[in-house]
Amino acid sequence: MLRTNTASMQSLFAQLGLPNSLAAIELYIRTHQLPASQSLHDAPFWNKSQRDLLISHLIQDDDWAIWIDELNQQLHLDACKFRTV
């Protein structure tokens, strides 16, 4: 039986070539916070391949897009905390 890659935060990190244990993901998110004005795909820490993967899945609006949106939210947590209304 052929097993397909199910979309999840851990599998997204694997697709991006990043360590994908829960602890590694938590650390990555804590240490890569973005300002509110910074788009996820324009973050300086992505290489071209990673950036292309993120954009491609968002454009396709596929199962991965949900996890990319979640990553976007997680990487903007600090910006949201300090935002004034």
56 has pLDDT over 50: yes
> Has residue 3 been placed in a domain?
no
84 has pLDDT over 90: no
Alpha carbon 11 to its chain centroid, in Å, reads 11
pLDDT of amino acid 5: 62
> Has residue 1 been placed in a domain?
no
> Has residue 27 been placed in a domain?
yes
Place of tokens 């993120």: 54
pTM here is 0.85
Angle at 52 between CA 32 and CA 49, to 5 degrees: 75
> Has residue 19 been placed in a domain?
yes
SS3 label, residue 78: helix
14 DSSP 8-state letter = H
> Has residue 71 been placed in a domain?
yes
pLDDT of amino acid 79: 83
If one counts every other C-beta atom within 10 angstroms of the C-beta of residue 70, the result is 13
Instruction: Count the alpha carbons within 13 Å of 85 in the hemisphere toward its beta carbon.
Output: 1
Domain that holds residue 22: 10-81
CATH code of the domain covering residue 29: 1.10.10.1130
Q: How many domains does the chain have?
A: 1
> Has residue 4 been placed in a domain?
no
Mean pLDDT across the stretch 34-50? 95
If one counts every other C-beta atom within 10 angstroms of the C-beta of residue 78, the result is 14
> Has residue 2 been placed in a domain?
no
> Has residue 5 been placed in a domain?
no
